[in-house]
Amino acid sequence: MNLTQQDWTAQLEEDANAVILDVRTEDECNEGIIPNALMIDINKGQAFVSQIEGLDKSKNYYVYCRSGARSAKACEIMHELGFENAYNLLGGFMQWDGDVVSPE
C-alpha cells in the first residue's frame, strides 16, 4: 500500500508493531537513514529475498528507498512472500522531512 509522507509518518507513530525498512544501497544509506531503519538492499536479488523471508511476518513494515520506486517493488515482493502489512513511502527519502541519522 502506498502512503503519502504525512500518512506514513502518522501511521508509523501510532504503530507499536512497526519496523522501518530501508531498501536502498549501502552507499545511499551512508548519506543518512530514517532513525531505527533496518537496511536490506533490494538490488541484492536473491539475497534480498532471503533476508526478507527471515523477517517476522506479524510486524508492520514501513518501506522506503530514494524515490519510492524500489520500495514499491519491495512491498510487492513482501506481499508475494506472505507479508500482509508493507507500506511504501511515496516520494521516498528524497522528500523525507523527518529525522535523519547516520547508519550504525
Ordered by start, the domain boundaries in the chain are: 2-56+66-95
Residue range 2-56+66-95 in CATH 3.40.50.720: no
Hey, which residues are catalytic here?
65
How would you write the pLDDT of the chain (104 residues) with one tens digit per residue?
Answer: 999 999 999 999 999 999 999 999 999 999 999 999 999 999 999 999 999 999 999 999 999 999 999 999 999 999 999 999 999 999 999 999 999 999 97
Collect all residues with Cβ–Cβ distance below 8 Å to 59 and sequence separation of at least 6: 17, 18, 19, 85
Q: What is the pLDDT of residue 104?
A: 79
Q: What is the pLDDT of residue 61?
A: 98
Could you tell me the pTM of the whole model? 0.96
Q: What is the pLDDT of residue 15?
A: 98
Report how far residue 96's alpha carbon sits from residue 12's, in angstroms, rounded to the nearest whole number.
14
Q: Collapsing DSSP states into helix, strand and coil, what is residue 75?
A: helix
